[in-house]
């Protein structure tokens, strides 16, 4: 997106963040905190400060009988962290391979893929409270993780800047291969002895075949969340749409496949000017050239409205809108 910030500051270390944090508190309004920028749609210029988190680094800081604890700078690339885990034979993050963005954003969104969520490997994070000018630690429970949700998306939105995230990885792997096409991909790869590297390779191959590379074509990955409905609602929908895709959840709920509904509504491969719905994955909205943020946002509005009218299901955007 061709947008500009009036002011930009880059944060490169924990100490730099604290020094800048004292200045941030004096600003008339909170700045926009930006990580990798892979999950935000800009519909306008930023008429104020953008603070870009570039705190990098990864280190093993401890272990117990079953786990190893890895601390990363919040500006560290997520996939680089996953590869670090695989190289050190630390299990838990392999299903989250090739997700774009930085580690600091991962708890905000509670990122997830192929049956695994960030909360499954999260231990704690350290963040700077903008108004109080103080460091605060958040445990797994403190974050109140939900489906693509955490306290940082609503309750504490714009109030903290995450400095570091510590992850709890398993010494003995528990493989998650039943979700999506991982099993089939492992068969195609001829994998006989399952390990975290082969699962990561399978996930990378699947993602690469389905999802467009953001470096080649503008996109933010999955644009919409998979909506959750009651099992009674799902039974009613199944009568009308026998092929509808849903995953059983606790508490008599079912998670619907948003991509399936968008595709059934005829949007897969749709293009309007330079804004479109990807030809291989209906969940992904793409910028084919010089589409504006408003173009992409308006397309998402049309899709939300159409799916609601066709299926009676309200979907939500996964991408943050500015």
Q: Which residues are catalytic?
A: 148, 222, 318
Cα–Cα dist 32/105, whole Å: 13
Task: Say how many C-beta atoms besides its own lie within 10 A of residue 178's C-beta.
Answer: 9
Phi-psi region of 15 (alpha: psi -120 to 50; beta: other; left: phi over 0): alpha
Whose CA is closest to 282, among 261, 307, 298, 299? 261
Contact 315, 308 (CB under 8 A): yes
- Report the C-alpha gap between 56 and 14 in whole angstroms: 10
């Amino acid at each position: 997106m061709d947008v500009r910030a009036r002011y930009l500051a880059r944060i490169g270390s924990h100490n730099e963040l604290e020094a800048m944090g004292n200045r941030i508190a004096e600003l008339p309004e909170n700045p926009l905190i930006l990580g990798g920028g892979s999950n935000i749609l800009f519909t306008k210029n930023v008429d104020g400060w953008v603070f870009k988190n570039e705190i990098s680094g990864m280190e093993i800081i401890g272990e117990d009988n079953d786990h190893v604890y890895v601390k990363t700078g919040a500006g560290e690339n997520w996939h680089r962290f996953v590869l670090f885990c695989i190289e050190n034979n630390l299990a838990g993050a392999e299903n989250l391979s090739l997700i774009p963005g930085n580690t600091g954003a991962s708890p905000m969104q509670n990122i997830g893929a192929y049956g695994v969520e960030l909360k499954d490997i999260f231990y704690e994070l350290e963040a700077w409270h903008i108004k109080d000018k103080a460091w605060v630690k958040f445990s797994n429970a403190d974050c109140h993780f939900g489906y693509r949700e955490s306290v940082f998306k609503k309750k504490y939105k714009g109030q903290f800047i995450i400095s570091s995230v510590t992850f709890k990885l398993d010494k003995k792997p528990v493989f998650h291969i039943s979700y999506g096409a991982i099993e089939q991909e492992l068969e195609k790869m001829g994998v006989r002895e399952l390990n975290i590297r082969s699962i990561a390779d399978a996930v990378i191959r699947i993602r690469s075949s389905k999802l467009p590379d953001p470096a080649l074509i503008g996109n933010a990955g999955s644009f919409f969340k998979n909506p959750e409905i009651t099992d009674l609602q799902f039974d009613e929908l199944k009568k009308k749409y026998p092929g509808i895709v849903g995953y059983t959840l606790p508490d008599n709920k079912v998670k619907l496949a948003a991509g399936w509904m968008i595709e059934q509504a005829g949007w897969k491969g749709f293009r309007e000017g330079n804004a479109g719905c990807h030809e291989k994955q209906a969940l992904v909205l793409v910028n084919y050239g010089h589409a504006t943020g408003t173009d992409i946002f308006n397309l998402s509005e049309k899709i939300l409205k159409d799916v609601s009218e066709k299926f009676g299901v309200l979907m939500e955007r996964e991408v943050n809108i500015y």
